[in-house]
Structure 1
Amino acid sequence: MKRRIRKVAVIGSGIMGSGIACHFANIGAEVLLLDIAPKDLTDAEKAKGLTLESKAVRNRIVNDNLKAALKSKPSPIYNQKFANRISTGNLTDDLSKVAEVDWIIEVVVERLDIKKQVFEQIEKYRKPGTLITSNTSGIPIAFMNEGRSEDFRQHFAITHFFNPPRYLKLFEVVPGPDCKQEVTDFLMEYGDKFLGKTSVMAKDTPAFIGNRIGIFGIQSLFHQVKDLGLTVEEVDKLTGPVIGRPKSATFRTVDVVGLDTLVHVANGIYENCPEDEAHELFKLPDFINTMMENKWLGSKTGQGFYKKVKGDDGNSEILSLDLDTMEYRSKKRANFATLELTKTIDNVIDRFPVLVGGKDKAGEFYRKNFAALFAYVQNRIPEISDELYRIDDAMKAGFGWENGPFEIWDAIGAEKAVEIMKAEGHEPAAWVTEMLGAGITSFYSVKDGATYYYDIPQKKHIKKPGQDAFIILDNIRKSKEVFKNSGVVIEDLGDGILNVEFRSKMNTIGGDVLAGINKGIDLAEKDFQGLIVGNQGPNFSVGANIGMIFMMAVEQEYDELNMAIKMFQDTMMRMRYSSIPTISAPHGMTLGGGCELSLHADKVVAAAETYMGLVEFGVGVIPGGGGSKEMTLRAADTFRKNDVELNVLQEYFLTIGMAKVSTSAYEAFDLGLLQQGKDVVVVNKDRQLAEAKKHALLMAEAGYTQPPQRKDIKVLGKQALGMFLVGTDSMEAGKYISEHDKKIANKLAYVMAGGDLSEPNYVSEQYLLDIEREAFLSLCTERKTLERIQHMLKTGKPLRN
């Protein structure tokens, strides 16, 4: 049976329910969001003369919850327009509408009695064959199945989203005991293909996989922090980006999630897992009990492990909780010699051997921490999962770890890690000892571009399923490399398609990267069918190498700077006018030069989570790699008969002048950075390169023809320039912008007007590129621009001067 999900009902509109509703709206589904009808009127409703029968009152809870979700930051929805796909109602008046949906998702309070009541009501209206799932994180399916019809049980599973549903990729699927295999298979595939998730099959055990391991890790730290005499700041320094974890690390993450949420899950594991060898570790330490009594729950109560206060001078300061005195104090800098040793190691996975070898308190911390983690995860097989890779997938997708526990174990060395475990009082599991005894010294291996994992029953490495839809650059980089320099690796993706992968710091674009792009185009034009520019780092590219620009400008090497900018422009034009199709595959931060590259590709295959923008104003210049030219061209291409052309051009001008950055790929269409009917969006980033390859092949096989360079771009001359100059004058007079902001804006105005031509005219791309480059160079001679670039290099933040 082929299932299609057109309409989804979400029962429960709290933070999770509204978030799940928004994410289904993100992918184009129609959503019915329901919650209870209020039992009492508010004072405001009484003042308006409303009654409990009024529709506005009956839907108040659901509407207020959805409104709060849509206003929250970061937003749960790709584009505010998508909220129109969500309709709301209440469980008394509107539950019958579930008869029209393809999937019902229950997200009510974590109480079995309430869930059972909801399921009983749903059964009255649900049509047979409709999917029904619960987002519970702790109630066993067998209990929820009690009293339900056979058809209900056959289509019932747990689908556990992680909060926030838009951003965290873990989607745990736990089938009920009577659930049909085809339903489980469908949910796993739908999560991956449509919701953009990492679908992980879990067993019906307390907290499933992600929370069982994640909460163990946090509880383990809670107990270690006092033993090792570490501060809150020190633990967050040790458990953040240095080991590939989120910036919020441990204690800041608990503050964001809410201490009460963590305590609820930890208590659930403690009560329901009496046989767990780490049972006592799930008991809450005294300082957590004190925080719970004081209601220091984190962000939701204004204080947790950290607390934001305003000083007498009006400036805010973040204080830290001293776990010995249980009082707040000023934050202390955390420094460790071991961490210094990793500063030159860019790949997180390569840092672990150095970290566990540290001779200071940090080294001791890592040895204790990883020994406990490895000992715990090895013993959870087959209890929570039959396959070790599912544990790694769950931790990466649900907790934002760059590497899962078994991957870290491999990085340290399977045998070396066992030595560390034994030294810390932990014994390896029998299956680990057996694996090492058979001469198999790693949990993972790579063969023919695919990942293999150690399968315990078969006692050998077998291929990890589900990879055929993905291209994993880490797996093919060495075997498929056709060119490499210090900034890029060019890989052969097969079927005549090349990929240019940036490998510079934060994927910045400098001379080596530009040379690599040109080399990729040369190779593709000679022997291949198409070219993709794509990578699988955290971000596509944060833009041009401004450090190089700063050095040239400070040394007043203007000829060299002019040549560097021209090389950038020429490379972008080669992306546009090569004889083979070029595809850009942006994701994450796609800023400045990274955005310009995407603007010049024949097609963009963007990840949904793409934050794209021309942000050069922040460093005191205008887009100089063809971005200013391209936005002028795109504005001209949207001029229609009887349009007020100045208004259209102004929209594109403001996109650059206000350094607007899209909060998703879908928002980039609204900014004119992506183009409807041409560019496409992929929800699952893991599928992005494979999708980009498909589009490159389609374009090549359809008979791609090299386009002629444009000489027909309508510019408005003095008419537009005058309007822009009047606008920047009034903005400066109103103190909305500084004198230097005005100077940058006026330079951009000159370029986008096509110069001070006496009347509208048609010009070439090269004409616009030349005046763009001239404007960029002139701004690089300004002291205030150099101050902005220097400030950005030092602090990572823009300077307003």
Structure 2
Amino acid sequence: MSHRKIRKVAVLGSGVMGSRIACHFANIGLEVLLLDIVPKEPNDAEKAKGLTLESKAVRNRIVNDALMASLKSNPAPLYDAAFASRITTGNFDDNMKDIASFDWIVEAVVENIDIKKKVYEQVESFRTPGTLITSNTSGIPMHLMSEARSEDFQKHFCGVHFFNPPRYMRLLEIIPGPKTSPEVIDFLMLYGDLYLGKTTVLCKDTPGFIANRIGIYGIMEALHTIIDLGLSVEEVDKLTGPVIGRPKSATFRTLDVVGIDTVIKVANGLLAGAPNDEAKDMFVLPEILKKIDENKWYGDKSQQGFYKKTKNDAGQTEILSLNLNSLLYGQQQKVKFAALEQTKAIEDLKPRFSVLIKSADKAGQFYRRTFLGLFKYVSNRIPEISDELYRIDDAMRTGFGWELGPFETWDAVGVAKAVKLMEEDGRKPAQWVYEMLEAGNTSFYKSENGKRLYYDIPSKSYKVIPGTESFIILDTLRANKPVFKNAGATLHDIGDGIVNLEFHTKMNTLGGEVVDAINRSIGIAEKDFQGIVIGNDGANFSAGANLALVLMYAIEQEYDEIDFMIRAFQNTMMRARYSSIPVVVAPHNLTLGGGCEMTLHADHVQAFAETYIGLVEFGVGLIPAGGGTKEFTLRVSDSFEDGDIQVNNLKNMYMHIATAKVATSAEEARSMGILRKSDGITLNRSRLIADAKAAAISLAEAGYTQPKQRKDIKVLGQSALGMFYAGANSMVSGKYMSEHDRKISEKLAYIMCGGDLSAPTLVSEQYLLDLEREAFLSLTGEKKTLERIQSILTSGRPLRN
């Protein structure tokens, strides 16, 4: 990587994308300047205040309003609301001169080439030579934008296409212009990955780049097929959602969210921009889209699209769907397909495809048309839009949220098998696919020595995917013999004396087999390795304890079983904290309840930036009893300083548990005290386990010694307890809290104050764990708690009783 350092970024254009891109740069700690145009005149409110066009508040109104709208939007664009202070606003007329001191200029103005060119002219007069200048465009060719610019500008100019919302969407397309220097391309590819946490995909300067070219083709192919087969909106969304590893919003719900007008615009652009595309007829709008365009039913932004939200006679919200023939909205119909029934029992996504594509019903017809069409299309896009096939898969996975990209899906069906089906259907793939098969290569990807290889077309051989050399992909280790495995978890040797324990229960819940695996794995690591990482590649790190089991024992009044279960879990958490080797936990996405407790007991946490972590037991009428309440109490005790109003610190920690608060990012988890200052945050999910492994090695090499159990935890006793009880009383009398809530909150306060002690006292961890376990056990004997657990398990909704 070059010596280039990025400290300050200027973002030009504060629309939906511009202000959110500015927020994501602020997320990673950069100083950001966000600029937009000066309004033509003051508005009425400004005139009433006596402001003129010379007033700063008026001149910066457009940019300030846009940034405020972004900051208030949901999901939040910032990891922590406090990071907004890293963004300064201004306008093109007064502040364009300031870009001279900035390291990277990001242009994100409207998709209009004339406006973009005008902005570049202004940039050129203030920009310091050598500064990066990039355009966030979803389709305007680089060569048209950079022509007529200086040599230095063209050398440092590149397309960097973020997907919306930039904090959450992992795809970052990098599109070089005709004169972009290779140093700039290499820098952006690595910077996007390492610092912005993105999957960076190198694209060619072709219409729609990669993700939109393939994605819009897929959507248009589906639309044409639906009309031919007479399928309904609901049927298609059922066929194109999670069952094939695509987002829940499937096809039509996605179109409504993105905006049908946007899709129409991109399809028209592709039709005009890619005249030599052999499948260009697919980009011709079907009649149904033309009618929707005439009616301006663009989806959520116009309150109706393929779906429409209304209120029924009883005043309840109802979502109606569009009949594609009559163009009338009606109630959604239940959908059933034989093909989907056949694959219900197939948990793993890959084996599902070969069953779906062979099915004799309408679903099978739909899948054959759309998959075979997609396979042919992507095989013909190489080398037009990319020289390497893995880039197309990367773009579709991270830009459109597909679990498997087109070539990975083709591998799942079987390459040769799919080619045979394609020939029967009169859709032959590109010649290179035949050459690959003739040479005896049967798949696009394969795993060797824990590395993932892709088929490289020019050399007709398999190569490691560049940039992934430092990733640890657990999936590729499955070919190796595991160090240990049971029904709930697998222990892999990930090299350099470190093992990784991954869970594979439903939602990665922590049942008996996982608890057993954690104990056994720590034992194995203590004997034969120098450290252990607990991390996985699942959709979520862990949704916590197995509630269904707790409910079953509680209904049968098997309290000894519950007691045994909690003791085992507490002992396992303490085992993780007090082992002779470093234990590093690598949480990501949902990390709730027991998953959070596991994290709290690690020697070091390496968290993915998007970690939503918290102790949520209160919501089901319980308290955290896997050491979570003990750990929060211990951390409060460590934060006490002489002269502190210690009870306030305690109250803050108590409220996190009592409100079942979940951090909305790893940064927020740090400010809540769930992550410590010394814990690490990884921005790129693909690097998480590798980063956790590095942390385990450095702890081991620094001479890790087994810590001693704590006996010096300061608890405040009766004085604090009285305050908590009084607070609960007033909450009940003000009807903010039910009687059952009072009962749980008093039990929680009792543990965190160390029980009914007459004065502040030092207690041990075991003392607090015993209080935790007693409280949990007593609550499983409460009818109202069981009703709450039942509600979460059956409807997913918390019950307030």
TM-score category of the 2 structures, normalised to the smaller one = over 0.9
**Residue correspondence of structure 1 range 232-631 to structure 2 within 5 A:** 232-479=233-480, 481-631=482-632
Deviates more, 1:600-609 or 1:782-791: 782-791
Distance in 2, matches of 1:230 and 1:722, equals 65
Query: 1:480 touches 1:493 (CA, 8 Å); kept in 2?
Result: no
Once residues 413 and 144 of structure 2 are traced to their aligned partners in structure 1, the CA distance between those partners, rounded to angstroms, is: 42
- The worse-fitting range, judged by mean Cα deviation, of 219-228 and 536-545 is 219-228
Specify the alignment match of 2:718 in structure 1: 718
Q: Hey, what's the Cα distance between the residues in 2 that align with 1:282 and 1:740?
A: 59
Alignment partners' CA distance in 2, 1:525 and 1:261: 56
Question: 1:153·1:176 contact (CA, 8 Å) conserved in 2?
Answer: yes
Q: What do residues 116-157 of structure 1 show as CA deviations (whole Å, max 9, x unaligned)? A: 110001000000000011111211112112210000011111
Aligned position for 2:684: 684
How far apart, CA to CA, are the structure 2 residues paired with 1:800 and 1:424? 57
- Cα displacement string for residues 663-715 of structure 1 (whole angstroms, at most 9, x for unaligned residues): 10000012111111x21101011111111111101100101111110011111
Structure 2 residue aligned with 1:153: 154
Residue number in structure 2 paired with 1:15: 16
Structure 1 distance, partners of 2:187, 2:462, is: 27
Shift of 1:311: 2.4
| Secondary structure, aligned partner of 2:314 | coil
Q: How much does 1:226 deviate?
A: 1.6
Tell me, in whole angstroms, the C-alpha distance in 2 between the residues paired with 1:675 and 1:129. 39
After superposing the two structures, state which structure 1 stretch, 533-542 or 235-244, moved more.
235-244
1:73-222 matches, cutoff 5 A:
73-222=74-223
Q: Cα distance 1:762–1:200, how it changes in 2: closer, same or farther (>3 A)? A: same
Q: Residue type matched to 2:770 in 1?
A: D
CA distance in 2, matches of 1:342, 1:482: 32
* Alpha-carbon displacement from aligned partner over 1:452-481 (angstroms, at most 9, x marks no partner): 111111122222211212100000133151
Q: Secondary structure at the match of 1:308?
A: strand
Amino acid at match of 1:529: Q
Residue 363 of structure 1 and its aligned partner are, at CA, apart by: 1.7
The aligned counterpart of 2:769 is 769
Taking a change above 3 Å as real, the CA distance of residues 48 and 54 of structure 1, as seen in their structure-2 partners, is same
CA distance in 2 between partners of 1:790 and 1:337 (Å): 31
Tell me the distance in 1 between the aligned counterparts of 2:363 and 2:662.
38
Query: CA offsets per residue over residues 260-279 of structure 1, 9 Å max, x none?
Result: 11111111001111111111
Distance in 1, matches of 2:183 and 2:423, equals 44
**Partner in structure 2 of residue 647 of structure 1:** 648
Distance in structure 2 (CA, Å) of the matches to 1:565 and 1:362 = 47
Residue of structure 2 in register with 1:794 after alignment: 794
Structure 2 CA distance, aligned partners of 1:361 and 1:617?
47
Amino acid at match of 2:579: S
Distance 1:743 1:354 in 2: 52
Structure 2: distance between partners of 1:234 and 1:491: 41
1:35: Cα distance to partner? 0.4
CA shift for structure 1 position 300: 1.5
Once residues 691 and 631 of structure 1 are traced to their aligned partners in structure 2, the CA distance between those partners, rounded to angstroms, is: 26
Shift of 1:626: 0.7
2:84 partner amino acid: A
Match of 1:755 in 2: 755
Shift of residue 317 of structure 1?
1.1
Deviations 1:460-507 (A, max 9, x none): 222221121210000013315100000000011111111110011110
Partners of 1:588 and 1:450 lie apart in 2 by: 25
Aligned-partner residue type, residue 89 of structure 2: T
Q: How far is 1:337 from its partner?
A: 2.3
Runs of 5+ unmatched residues, structure 2: none
Task: Indicate whether 1:734 and 2:734 are aligned.
Answer: yes
Comparing 569-578 and 247-256, the one that deviates more: 247-256
CA distance in 2, matches of 1:66, 1:483: 51
Amino acid at match of 1:721: L
**Secondary structure at 2:159 match in 1:** strand
Which amino acid in 2 is paired with 1:299? Answer: D
Matched to 1:381, the amino acid is: I
User: Shift of the alpha carbon at 1:792?
Assistant: 1.3
Seen in structure 2, the aligned counterparts of structure 1 residues 480 and 497 have a Cα distance that, compared at 3 Å, is: farther
Q: Percent identity?
A: 62
Q: How far apart in 2 are the matches of 1:226 and 1:155?
A: 47
Say whether the 8 Å CA contact 1:320–1:331 is kept in structure 2.
yes
Q: How does 1:221-232 map to 2 (within 5 A)?
A: 221-232=222-233
Contact kept in structure 2, 1:480 and 1:492, CA below 8 Å = no
Q: Deviations over 1:581-608 (max 9, x none)?
A: 1111000000000000000001100000
Q: Return the alpha-carbon distance in structure 1 between the equivalents of residues 720 and 345 of structure 2.
A: 50
Structure 2: distance between partners of 1:571 and 1:19: 42
User: Number of aligned pairs?
Assistant: 800
Counterpart Cα distance in 2 of 1:264 and 1:96 = 35
Question: 2:191 is matched by which residue type in structure 1?
Answer: Y
The two structures have a TM-score, normalised by structure 1, of 0.99
What secondary structure is seen at the aligned counterpart in 1 of 2:491? strand
Residue 636 of structure 1, CA deviation: 1.2
One-letter identity of the residue aligned with 1:425: G
Report matched runs for 1:4-43 at 5 Å. 4-43=5-44
SS at match of 1:754: coil
CA distance in 1, matches of 2:696, 2:19: 37
Instruction: Give the secondary structure class of the aligned counterpart of 2:248.
Output: coil
Q: What is the CA–CA distance in structure 2 between the aligned matches of 1:761 and 1:527, rounded to whole Å? A: 41
Partner-residue secondary structure (3-state), 2:94: coil
SS at match of 2:207: coil
Aligned to 1:69: 70
Contact 1:225/1:235, CA 8 A, preserved across alignment:
yes
Could you give the per-residue CA deviations for residues 62-112 of structure 1, whole angstroms, max 9, x where no partner exists?
000000001000011111111111101000000001101001111111111
Q: 2:795 and 2:227 mapped to 1: Cα distance?
A: 33
What do residues 366-400 of structure 1 show as CA deviations (whole Å, max 9, x unaligned)? 11110111011111011101111110010011111
Q: Does 1:671 align with 2:705?
A: no
Runs of 5+ unmatched residues, structure 1? none
User: In structure 1, what is the Cα distance between the partners aligned to 2:304 and 2:166?
Assistant: 25
Structure 2 equivalent of residue 696 of structure 1: 696
Q: What CA distance in whole angstroms lies between the structure 2 residues aligned with 1:16 and 1:735?
A: 43
User: How far, CA to CA, are the matches of 1:742 and 1:303 in structure 2?
Assistant: 44
Q: Secondary structure at the match of 1:341?
A: helix
